[in-house]
A and B are shown apart, each in its own frame.
Chain A
């Protein structure tokens, strides 16, 4: 082979210009990729048509004919379509994602800070947690929470009674649900107004402190705004809230609100798992802040908690946010493991039942992938915006 190459007479390239040659190659490559994609799509469509597999989205408006046990919007087999089932699954996925992200963040920060604690016991406990949780598969942890902790709870007749009319059994957690009467809306508005007022108060206090070096107390006026005013309005309308308590009727509790065990297992499993990774990110972030900052802070007489909150964490955030975004994306994508414990998320309901009933596999999978892509990109965009906002401002 090499001999042949050497024997061949040196040839002048057809197109001598470096730029033209590279452009031709790039266009050829692009054309090749486009042709490959087009022929794959065309081939799939032709084969699907030949086998009688639907290639359109007509199924979207057809009656679903199956039920879902956990839904944020009303859904029934008779009155709703496959399209509605998609929204049920999407909302359930978003709910799991939102609950999981919040819980994982709180837990992750606590464990991350605890791991750096000077208290030997607390530090080792946090370290042990991180090592155990990070080094076992998430699916096994989910199955553990579902099969070893939640479903072995006693049945409805032997339910555990918790304070406040709350019951726990292997069918879920049953709570009283509030029923709002006339006037309850005003109390709700008052709470909102109280929160807005407190924020404004805090801003004013900060501005005054920056200007004069001394702010005014915010905590008690804010508490009064948020709690006292709404309670007063609530009383004035004669306590217009009644509670519907869950009652054991027939097979199970009826009435009130219910959280299915599949949801609890999924949120618990996802947030405990992700919290371990977040803890390590937080630890790395805190360690990245120069020790001089802490020393300077204590030299000024700041207590430890305040130093952490006002000096260390804000500086650590710029190291924490980018990898934290990855963990949020992981958590949202991992929520599709719901399939294995029977929680009706997007993948279980839409890419599972709807796909099977309609046979529209390509469309359903394409939509599902697009949804995860959009959720991930939006989360990512939000976190990038947040990252820019908290970045160190050099003055």
Chain B
């Protein structure tokens, strides 16, 4: 276990002095400096662990530009630090390698559909900075079966990828509802989808986001419908190493800033003009009032930078996986808390 004490000792004091001067009522005499932030600044680029290729979440396009919800989250952090969304180097990681890469310091932040679980925080020494996509396992069936609920699937054959939690969630769901089914288990998700498409199975199951993404690969994507029941909790979000609280704060509040911006109606287009708003909440978020950014080791207009370069959470969602994309995933749980969803940004004050 590497100790971060040395970095604390050699913390650059000038920054903390500035914070104390500007914000006299702050109880702590000195804000700790983030080692990761220092490294990122010195390097001039954020190293972000991303998916090897999942449409809508993290995937390089034909010109090699990375796009997707998780990718834009890294761009938002880059915008907050450098006022430039493109100072990011993406490291594509497989599910197997992703946590090791973060633990070993190869990447600064992991933004790659990682499910937040206790074992990953307690055993692997990681911390989740929030949930940027509430996912869950669901089923896809053919429209012509006229099924509206996963509870009507008794007796069905279900194609599933082997050796994942998906396989055990599937068994749990049918057992809990006292229904029979036949699992057809394949080594890869590509094979499982193909066998569902040829008609070997009545249903295909994986995470909801995966279903929307895989549906595009089917021969006739219009003939398939995704059932609304979600049979497992898969909160996906960005993760960081333990031991650097300030870096965790930066990653965490990047997400919350995007959520609050959506809630307050601040968009990529109107951000500059909303700086002059009289609404105190907007003024605090955009840095017209208060100086929270500096306490985190950033600038006071950190949130404005994020919104100007990347946009608010809703914009990023629509562009990558919502109505503005080919996936067209409904907001559902990922809507704002005041619109029936779970996305809730703590107040900036």
Seen from chain A, the residues whose Cβ lies within 8 Å of a Cβ on chain B are: 52, 65-69, 76-78, 147, 151-152, 155, 170-171, 249-252, 254, 261-262, 339-340, 342, 344, 348, 352-353, 355-357
**Contact string, B176-213, partner A, CB cutoff 8 A, digits 1/0?**
00000111111100010001001110100000000000
Chain B nearest CB from A390 CB (Å) reads: 42
In the complex, chain B residues whose CB is within 8 Å of the CB of A353: 162-163, 167, 185
Known: A69-B183, A348-B162, A357-B168. 13 other contacts (CB 8 A): A65-B168, A66-B167, A67-B181, A69-B184, A77-B172, A151-B200, A171-B182, A250-B154, A251-B202, A252-B156, A342-B184, A342-B187, A356-B164
Given A65-B168, A355-B163, A77 contacting B187 (CB threshold 8 A): no
In the complex, chain A residues whose CB is within 8 Å of the CB of B233: none
In the complex, chain A residues whose CB is within 8 Å of the CB of B153: 251
Instruction: Provide the bound-state CA to CA distance between A249 and B163, in Å.
Output: 30
Given A69-B183, A151-B200, A339-B187, A251 contacting B155 (CB threshold 8 A): yes
Chain A nearest CB from B94 CB (Å) reads: 14
Query: Which 7 pairs across A and B sit closest by C-beta, in order of nearness?
Result: A356-B163, A77-B171, A250-B155, A65-B168, A251-B156, A151-B198, A342-B186
Contact residue among A52, A170, A352 (Cβ-Cβ distance under 8 Å from B187): A352
In the complex, chain B residues whose CB is within 8 Å of the CB of A68: 183, 185
- Say yes or no: A170 contacts B199, CB within 8 Å: yes
Residues of B237-265 contacting chain A, CB below 8 A: none
Give the interface size class of chain B. 20 to 34
Chain B nearest CB from A147 CB (Å) reads: 7
Instruction: Provide the bound-state CA to CA distance between A262 and B175, in Å.
Output: 24
Instruction: Provide the bound-state CA to CA distance between A65 and B181, in Å.
Output: 14
Chain B: CB-nearest residue to A70 = B182
Instruction: Provide the bound-state CA to CA distance between A22 and B321, in Å.
Output: 72
Instruction: Provide the bound-state CA to CA distance between A65 and B172, in Å.
Output: 7
In the complex, chain A residues whose CB is within 8 Å of the CB of B200: 151, 170-171, 261
Chain A: CB-nearest residue to B188 = A340
Given A147-B198, A151-B199, A353-B162, A251 contacting B157 (CB threshold 8 A): yes
Chain B nearest CB from A209 CB (Å) reads: 56
Describe A's contact surface by its main secondary structure.
Answer: loop
27 A–B contacts, CB within 8 A, in A order? A66-B167, A66-B171, A67-B170, A69-B182, A77-B171, A151-B195, A151-B199, A151-B200, A155-B199, A170-B198, A171-B182, A250-B155, A251-B153, A251-B157, A251-B202, A252-B157, A252-B202, A262-B184, A340-B187, A340-B191, A342-B184, A342-B186, A352-B162, A355-B163, A356-B164, A357-B163, A357-B168
Instruction: Provide the bound-state CA to CA distance between A66 and B184, in Å.
Output: 12
In the complex, chain B residues whose CB is within 8 Å of the CB of A155: 199
Instruction: Provide the bound-state CA to CA distance between A199 and B181, in Å.
Output: 46
Q: Is B222 an interface residue (CB 8 A)?
A: no
In the complex, chain A residues whose CB is within 8 Å of the CB of B164: 356
Chain A: CB-nearest residue to B153 = A251
In the complex, chain A residues whose CB is within 8 Å of the CB of B199: 151, 155, 170
- Say yes or no: A67 contacts B171, CB within 8 Å: yes
Contact residue among B157, B168, B185 (Cβ-Cβ distance under 8 Å from A344): B185
Q: Is B273 an interface residue (CB 8 A)?
A: no
In the complex, chain B residues whose CB is within 8 Å of the CB of A342: 184-187, 191, 195
Chain B: CB-nearest residue to A356 = B163
In the complex, chain A residues whose CB is within 8 Å of the CB of B182: 69, 171, 252
Instruction: Provide the bound-state CA to CA distance between A46 and B278, in Å.
Output: 63
Instruction: Provide the bound-state CA to CA distance between A353 and B187, in Å.
Output: 9
In the complex, chain B residues whose CB is within 8 Å of the CB of A76: 175
In the complex, chain B residues whose CB is within 8 Å of the CB of A67: 170-171, 174, 181, 183
In the complex, chain A residues whose CB is within 8 Å of the CB of B97: none
Chain B nearest CB from A251 CB (Å) reads: 5
In the complex, chain A residues whose CB is within 8 Å of the CB of B185: 68-69, 342, 344, 348, 353
Chain B nearest CB from A15 CB (Å) reads: 51
Instruction: Provide the bound-state CA to CA distance between A31 and B134, in Å.
Output: 58
Chain A nearest CB from B242 CB (Å) reads: 16
Chain B nearest CB from A198 CB (Å) reads: 42
Instruction: Provide the bound-state CA to CA distance between A76 and B185, in Å.
Output: 15
Chain A nearest CB from B317 CB (Å) reads: 32
Chain B: CB-nearest residue to A340 = B187
Chain A: CB-nearest residue to B171 = A77
Chain A nearest CB from B323 CB (Å) reads: 33
In the complex, chain B residues whose CB is within 8 Å of the CB of A66: 167-168, 170-171, 183
- Say yes or no: B175 contacts A77, CB within 8 Å: yes
Instruction: Provide the bound-state CA to CA distance between A102 and B168, in Å.
Output: 36
Given A78-B175, A251-B155, A261-B200, A52 contacting B168 (CB threshold 8 A): no
Chain B nearest CB from A143 CB (Å) reads: 10
Chain B: CB-nearest residue to A253 = B155
Chain B: CB-nearest residue to A254 = B155
Q: Is B123 an interface residue (CB 8 A)?
A: yes
Chain A nearest CB from B227 CB (Å) reads: 14
Chain B nearest CB from A47 CB (Å) reads: 13
Instruction: Provide the bound-state CA to CA distance between A355 and B164, in Å.
Output: 11
**Contact string, B42-81, partner A, CB cutoff 8 A, digits 1/0?**
0000000000000000000000000000000000000000
Instruction: Provide the bound-state CA to CA distance between A289 and B262, in Å.
Output: 88
Instruction: Provide the bound-state CA to CA distance between A342 and B198, in Å.
Output: 14
Chain A: CB-nearest residue to B165 = A357
Instruction: Provide the bound-state CA to CA distance between A68 and B170, in Å.
Output: 12
In the complex, chain B residues whose CB is within 8 Å of the CB of A152: 198
Chain B nearest CB from A75 CB (Å) reads: 11
Chain B nearest CB from A266 CB (Å) reads: 14
Chain A nearest CB from B276 CB (Å) reads: 54
Instruction: Provide the bound-state CA to CA distance between A340 and B157, in Å.
Output: 18
Chain B: CB-nearest residue to A150 = B200
Chain A nearest CB from B115 CB (Å) reads: 16
Given A52-B123, A67-B183, A69-B183, A352 contacting B163 (CB threshold 8 A): yes
In the complex, chain A residues whose CB is within 8 Å of the CB of B172: 65, 77
Instruction: Provide the bound-state CA to CA distance between A151 and B321, in Å.
Output: 33
Given A68-B183, A69-B185, A342-B186, A249 contacting B198 (CB threshold 8 A): no
**Contact string, B307-324, partner A, CB cutoff 8 A, digits 1/0?**
000000000000000000
Instruction: Provide the bound-state CA to CA distance between A261 and B174, in Å.
Output: 23
In the complex, chain B residues whose CB is within 8 Å of the CB of A252: 155-157, 182, 202
Instruction: Provide the bound-state CA to CA distance between A78 and B157, in Å.
Output: 19
Chain B nearest CB from A194 CB (Å) reads: 39
Chain B nearest CB from A156 CB (Å) reads: 9
